[in-house]
Amino acid sequence: MTAALVTGGTVAAVDLTPNAVANAEAAAPAGTAPEGVTLAYSPLLEVAKGLPKVSAQQVLNLATSQVGTSENPYGGGTKFHHWYMNSDRAAETIARDGGTRYGYANAPWCDMFVSWVGNQLGISPVLGEDAYTVRHAEWFAQNNRWGTVPAPGAVVFFDWNGGKDIHDIQHVGFVIKDNGDGTIETVEGNTGNGVVEVRERQTADVVGYGYPVYTA
């Protein structure tokens, strides 16, 4: 059986017959799941083989290099808005959610920031591209890359009311590290007064983590 898998805006044909899955599992590169995280086989492992080799640290280096980037008085105007509203992915999410490209110009941009990082490094098919945090989290879950363990480079999804339902997610960023005391260090867009910042967050506010496939 071959499935058409939408991987952050890219459609990939993935062979899901039992033998093909078993062979892919055996050939999966080391480090495809973060330390301490157990995940079922994901078709994104196969997709990753055709992408640049990127590490979690490279993602964090790029994300933290954007610290201080700020929105305009209307809540938009960042490079992340400009990129997303002009991307092919925007056409897909407009078809899904409604609206127009211009509607992204001043929209909440935490997930545009996360998606921009993946796009810049050429790994959108295994990190995902979206402007809507709930759909992005669902994508990770559908691809067996979702869990509850913080790991560097994981995409972290928050509900400020402490809920654990994907549909209640309100915000997203990247995990820099687990502080081991019930908090994590993160880098996030559209936080504070609409800037990219490094923050300390309570794990009690985390709904879950998406694990991009890192191969370096």
Tokens of 211: 């694990």
Q: How far apart are alpha carbons 203 and 149 in whole angstroms?
A: 10
| 19 assigned to some structural domain | no
If one counts the domains in the chain, the total is 1
Tokens of 137: 């989290």
pLDDT surpassing 90 at residue 186 = yes
| 146 assigned to some structural domain | yes
Q: Give this prediction's pTM.
A: 0.87
pLDDT over 90 percentage in the chain? 82
* 39-82: pLDDT as tens digits: 999 999 999 999 999 999 999 999 999 999 999 999 999 999 99
3-state secondary structure of 11: strand
Q: How far apart are alpha carbons 10 and 129 in whole angstroms?
A: 9
* 108-136: pLDDT as tens digits: 999 999 999 999 999 999 999 999 999 99
pLDDT given at position 85: 97
| 87 assigned to some structural domain | yes
- DSSP-derived letter for residue 182 is S
| 15 assigned to some structural domain | no
**Which domain does 192 fall in, by range?**
55-210
| 149 assigned to some structural domain | yes
**Residue 139: CATH number of its domain:** 3.90.1720.10
3-state secondary structure of 163: coil
pLDDT category at 32 given cuts 50, 70, 90 is: low
Summary mean pLDDT of the chain: 89
